């Protein structure tokens, strides 16, 4: 099911992003509700001993409906910070907080699974995605209009029609493949070792090391390549 959830996220993320471009951030809440309903469906289907294929379809739907709140936030940092020089700091802080959530999330999930079972973890995830999306939208400043009609790439490919975007997508594909593989392989390894809670601990350690690496890189001032400005800023 972890693999189906990952595939659903990979397939649904571009479509959700295009939907946000066309309709604005108001589509985030319907997506969050659909994601939560799919998580609860996994719980209900699991308790009713539904076939694995049905559970995988529900997991696929949960991944496809995941609201792209993080992407929306990163596209709006320039509106949220008080000074342009703080945009880079905001991106760095955003990355660190993502790693913190990757560390804390698996640990909390492991504790919940060990004490109460995976069903409670699914229900809590459903509640948190709705609550988090609502709080995010409440704090996000209103932005007039959408990307459509403001020079946004049109056509079936959308932003992928731009060569620079295609290059970024191709170069990040191996990294995304690695991350997705680890998130599937670690739970499978833990289950094979007879401890499903171990997956949360291992993923937390992995994410913690990633966060430390990001902080070290972000704080590096001695490497000229680390502090060189990107080409698009020159």
Three-state secondary structure call for residue 119: helix
For the cut 80, the answer to whether the pLDDT of residue 142 exceeds it is no
In-domain check, residue 178: yes
Length of the chain (residues): 234
* Residue 227 in domain: no
Q: Model confidence over 9-22: pLDDT tens digits?
A: 878 888 888 888 88
Band (209; pLDDT cuts 50, 70, 90): confident
Residue 228 within any structural domain of the chain: no
**What letter does residue 229 receive in the DSSP assignment?**
P
Structural domains of the chain, count? 1
Neighbours of 47 (CB within 10 A): 9
pLDDT of residue 26: 87
CB-based contact 211:103 (threshold 8 Å): yes
For residue 234, is it within any domain? no
Nearest-angstrom CA–CA distance, 202 and 102: 11
Domain that holds residue 6: 2-219
> Could you tell me if residue 224 is inside a domain?
no
The answer to whether the CB of 9 falls within 8 A of the CB of 66 is: yes
Dist CA 20 CA 41 (whole Å): 25
Instruction: Please answer whether residues 81 and 90 qualify as being in contact, where contact means their C-beta atoms are separated by less than 8 angstroms.
Output: yes
pLDDT attached to residue 224 = 44
pLDDT at position 157 is: 63
Q: Residue 106: name the closest of 210, 194, 204 by CA.
A: 204
Instruction: Check residue 214 and give its pLDDT.
Output: 67
pLDDT digits (tens, 9 = 90+) for 47-104: 888 888 898 899 999 999 999 888 888 888 888 887 777 787 778 777 777 777 777 7
User: Residue 143: which pLDDT band, with cuts at 50, 70 and 90?
Assistant: low
User: What CATH number is attached to the domain comprising 159?
Assistant: 1.20.1250
* Average pLDDT estimate for 152-164: 65
The rounded distance, in Å, linking the Cα atoms of 145 and 148 is 8
Predicted pLDDT at 153: 53
Among candidate residues 89, 68, 86, 50, the one with its CA nearest the CA of residue 10: 68
pTM listed for this prediction = 0.68
201 vs 150, higher pLDDT: 201
Residue 199 within any structural domain of the chain: yes
Q: What does 185-215 look like in DSSP terms, one character per residue?
A: HHHHHHHHTT-THHHHHHHHHHHHHHHHHHH
Question: Taking the CA of residue 8 as centre, how many other CA atoms within 13 Å lie in the half-sphere pointing to its CB?
Answer: 22
pLDDT in tens, 175-204: 777 777 777 788 788 878 787 777 878 877
Give the burial class of 51: count Cβ atoms within 10 A of its Cβ; 0-12 exposed, 13-18 middle, 19 or more buried.
exposed
Q: How confident is the model at residue 229 (pLDDT cuts 50, 70, 90)?
A: very low
Residue 11 structure tokens? 């397939």
User: What is residue 8's three-state secondary structure?
Assistant: helix
Q: Does 107 or 60 have the greater pLDDT score?
A: 60
Calculate mean pLDDT across residues 125-154.
74
The answer to whether the beta carbons of residues 129 and 32 sit under 8 Å apart is yes
């Amino acid at each position: 099911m972890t693999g189906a959830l990952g595939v659903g996220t990979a397939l649904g993320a571009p479509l959700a992003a295009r939907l946000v471009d066309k309709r604005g951030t108001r589509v985030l809440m319907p997506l969050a509700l659909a994601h939560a309903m799919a998580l609860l469906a996994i719980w209900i289907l699991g308790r009713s001993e539904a076939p694995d294929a049905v559970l995988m379809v529900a997991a696929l739907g949960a991944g496809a409906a995941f609201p792209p709140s993080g992407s929306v936030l990163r596209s709006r940092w320039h509106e949220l910070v008080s000074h342009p020089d703080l945009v880079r700091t905001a991106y760095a802080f955003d990355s660190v907080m993502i790693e913190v959530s990757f560390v804390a999330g698996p640990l909390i999930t492991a504790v919940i699974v060990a004490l109460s079972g995976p069903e409670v973890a699914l229900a809590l995830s459903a509640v948190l995605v709705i609550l988090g999306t609502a709080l995010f939208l409440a704090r996000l400043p209103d932005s007039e209009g959408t990307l459509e009609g403001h020079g946004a790439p049109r056509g079936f490919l959308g932003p992928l029609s731009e060569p620079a975007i295609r290059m970024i997508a191709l170069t990040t594909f191996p990294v995304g493949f690695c991350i997705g593989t680890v998130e599937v392989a670690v739970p499978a390894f833990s289950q094979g070792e007879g401890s499903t809670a171990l997956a949360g601990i291992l993923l937390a350690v992995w994410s913690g090391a990633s966060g430390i690496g990001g902080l070290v890189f972000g704080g590096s001032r001695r490497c000229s390549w680390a502090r060189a400005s990107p080409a698009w800023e020159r």
